[in-house]
Amino acid sequence: MDRTTIRERLLAAAREGAARAYAPYSHFPVGAAVMLPDGTIVIGCNVENASYGLSVCAERVALWSAVAQGYRDFVAMAVIVPSGSPCGACRQVMSELCPPDMPVWVETEDGTVREFTVAELLPAAFRREDLG
């Protein structure tokens, strides 16, 4: 599968995730999709809670869902976010679970798509090696 096809499949899946978001407080729906080496895509959406600290981001839902299904290898990710890019917590989780050179496409509300690597999203990430 070529890079353009991967990108378009992931962005479409991430849009589906955003449509499933539970965001009654922020009205900030986010969707994410992560691709496995065999082309399987796992979707995530943000899920809010009245106790804000218990809310979870789409990127983490996608990655944790994949891990819960027994997957550990990821090849690419897409995120649909009204503005900006993944939060710091999601960047940290990406740096823990994904290869540093893995592409992450981020599409904002105006349709702009930017491409990053995991390492670009979180330079000098805190890694397991830092635990000593």
- Domains of the chain in start order, with CATH, are 3-131 (3.40.140.10)
DSSP codes of every residue in the chain: --HHHHHHHHHHHHHHHHHH-B-TTT----EEEEE-TTS-EEEEE-B--SSGGG-B-HHHHHHHHHHHTT-----EEEEE-SSS---HHHHHHHHHHS-TT-EEEEE-TTS-EEEEEHHHHSTT---GGGG-
pLDDT-based confidence at residue 42 (cuts at 50, 70, 90) = very high
pLDDT of residue 128: 87
pTM: 0.95
User: Does the pLDDT at position 123 exceed 90?
Assistant: yes
Q: Which of 59, 96, 107, 115 is catalytic?
A: 59
Active site residue 96: no
pLDDT of residue 132: 84
